[in-house]
Structure formats: C-alpha cells, structure tokens
Amino acid sequence: MNIRCFLLLASSGVVSGLDNGVVRLPLMGWNTWCAFGPCGTDVCTEQQVLDTITAVSTNGLQSAGYDYITLDDCFAMRRNATTGELYPDTGLFPEGFTNVVKAAHGAGLKIGIYTSAGDYTCKAKRDNCSGACNVGSLGHYEEDAKTFAGWQLDFVKMDWCSASIAKLSCEKQYGEMSTALNATGRAMAFYMSCGGVGRKQKFASKVANIWRVGNDHLDCWDDICSAKRGYTSRSHGTSEVIQYMAGISKFAGPGGWNTPDFLKTGGEGCADRAPGHLCPGQTDEEYRTEFSLWSITNAPLLVSSDVRKLSPLQKDILLNPEVIAVNQDALAKAGDLVGSYACGGSALSSGQVACQMWAKPLVRGWAVALANFGNASASMSLNASLLGVPAKDSISVRDIWARSDKGVHPAQGYTVQVESHATKMFVITEASDSNLVI
C-alpha cells in the first residue's frame, strides 16, 4: 500500500475499541511508575497520592484534561488468606484505598490501580516478603474485579509479570479479566500490558481500552541510556518505543488505543524522592518529541513524572492546549508514520530512517509532526501531497508548539530546519492561493 492511500483509508471508516462506554478519546492522566523515584522503583504512599491529587486539581493539569490518577505496582498488594480479598500494605496506605478514592472523586477526578495476570506483580522479584505481598490476580479474576468495583475504581491496568512463566495466554487471560470487569456493572477503563514486543493489537481492541505495543519506556532517548540502567533488552528509549506505533493506527479508535507506554515529561523522580525533585534523562527537545508523537498517534497521555511541583518545562509541554487538542480531536483518528527522510547519517535500531513525517486527520485539516531522530540538524519538508492534498493546491500552516501562524504555502513547499532529536508540529488546512508564500 502506498503512503498516500494509507491515510486516506485510515480516515475512511470508524474503528471502535472495547464497548464499555469509556475512553472514547485517548485517556489523559497521571501514573506513579516513575514519579516518586527512578523508573522501576515503583514506590508510592497514601500521602504522596493525596498530594498529587491536590496538585493535579489546582496546577492546571485537570483543567487541561488530565483527569485520571493511576497507581502502578507501588502499594504491595496482599490477599486475605481467609476471605481471599485484596488489600494494600497498610504501612503505605493505612486506610486502604478509601482516602485516595474519596479525594480523587471529590476533586472530580477518576482513579485506578494495577494488578498482574499471574500470581505476582513485577515488583514481587524485588520485595522480600516470602510471597505474601505483590500478589497478582491469577485464579481470582472475578472476585478481584468485584473488589475493584466495590472500591469504586475507574481504571485497572493488568500487567504480565509471572504470567508468562506459567505459560498463560494473553488473549485468554485479558479476555477473562475484561469479561469480569464488565460483569460488575461499573465502567472501568482496562489497560492491557502483555509483556515484550510483538503486540497483540488484532485481539486487544476486543478486550481492552488501552494496550501497550512495546517494552517499558524509560526516561531515556536510546538503548545507550537504557543499558546504563542495567537493561539488557533493547528498545526502551523514546526514539525506539515510538517506532512500534508505526503502521498500527488501523487498530485504534473510540474506546481502544495503542500506547508506547507512559510519558516521562520533565524527568523521572530522583533517588532522594524529594517532592518536585526531577532527574531528567532526556533533553527539553527530546521531551517535546515524546509528547508530540504520543499526541499525534492518539496514545493516552498518561504522565509518569512528579507533578506536585510542575517545572517550567512540564508546564510548557503538558499544558500546551494546541498539542493536546490534536490528541483529543473529535474525529478520533490515530495518526501514523507517512514518510521518511534520510538525515543525520544514521538509522534507528528498528531500521527506520531517522527523519520522519507523522500525520493524522482532524475534524478540520491535518496534524503533522516532523521528527528528527538523527544526530544532526536537518532540513525537512512538510509534503501535504502525502495526505492527499493535490500538489497544485496550497496549505495554511500553523506551528502549534510556537503557537504561531506560518502563512499559506504550496502543498509540497513548506520546509523547516529541525534540530537533532527535535520535532516540529503543525496543523495544516487546505487554503486558497491568496497570501501564498513562495
């Protein structure tokens, strides 16, 4: 299929995800995974979550659309040996989840937690509790779903730790939990994280609202950074995980969305776990590239950094209304890779050419991202003919990071300089030839 036909076909029909009434547009919110310490440490307390709820509801995030508070593998879940009911570590959450659920709902926010398809969660390997903590949901899907509904949760993420060891089936396990959650009668967004790469998008939209398509996303740009973190597997950096989104927009639609994992905007938490202390693993431009490509591919905007004290960079990126509007456009069409440019003298580990044009159709016009994954500044062209705009026509161009209009240009004639690891993002519409800039 040629590139031009791809987007035209992608916009010709409506793809729908799980029909449980939620996440008709990509979900926006916050997650704990890298917020209160380096990625993978998975720490949180009741007070930290309460403080974050207060911050999100007052610092502009909620007003911008971030309305989900989600807890990852950070509360050392236990199971009552007599009743089989779940409860978090009372040293971390003295009142269970009662206070955080009440606070989130009282602020007009939604809240959710984490479990695993297997016997134990991912953190069980690191916590020495003789198998008593970090329990998963295997064998308890129905009762755990009822417990989550009883806690008045709005979101459940199910991971794949210990499940693969037991030789379980992603399709079977996530299907069973999806059925169990829907049977409760409470609408809960369901996030599927089925381990590794080589995603299962073909069945995911039938059982989940969100499904991860790559490895854990670290606060890194590339494999060099992730190797320094002790990761022996590849493709954990921003420049790599986004490549798994290429060619799969056809699986996304209202109620079901591909995701390359959580955003790390502004930096992961530091080892000292001090409020607002961020330890960025990427540059400012790399964080803008991250947010640009999550937005244009309709990935959920779930931010996993400490937002209790927003940094100027976090404010600049996370609160940009025009970039958010691309992600939340009512047409609900996910964007995709539509063109590549040789630049920077290098290719990505995925084999993709380093300078790329991504695009998505909007209710009015198109959003376009010109991303330079190469190691040198590059001249890149916004070629609207790849979107079906006749070459003889002209386009009106708006730079949505700069929030400035760039005039009217020939459909194949708008060229910009894009710095290494940076992304320029535009909204374009077909225009008359008046005010044409040559």
The residues that are catalytic are 159, 216
Angle at 360 between CA 356 and CA 365, to 5 degrees: 120
Neighbours of 172 (CB within 10 A): 11
262: Cα separation from own chain's centroid: 4
CA contacts within 13 A on the Cβ side of 372: 22
Instruction: For 73, list phi and psi in degrees, rounded to 5.
Output: -80, 65
Of 285, 311, 310, residue with least CA distance to 401: 285
The H-assigned helical ranges of 3-90 are: 3-10, 46-58, 61-64
Report the DSSP pairing between strands 68-70 and 268-269: unpaired
Q: How far is CA 281 from the centre of its chain?
A: 18
Separation between Cα atoms, residue 110 and residue 102, nearest integer Å = 10
**What is the spatial order of strands in the sheet that 28-31 belongs to?**
257-259, 210-212, 189-192, 155-159, 110-116, 68-70, 28-31, 301-303
Angle 238-244-246 from CA coordinates, rounded to 5°: 110
Cross-strand pairs, 426: 368, 399
Rounded to 5 degrees, what angle do the CA atoms 171, 177, 181 make? 140
Mode of pairing for the β-strands spanning 210-212 and 257-259: parallel
* Distance of alpha carbon 84 from alpha carbon 88, whole angstroms: 13
Residue type, 27: L
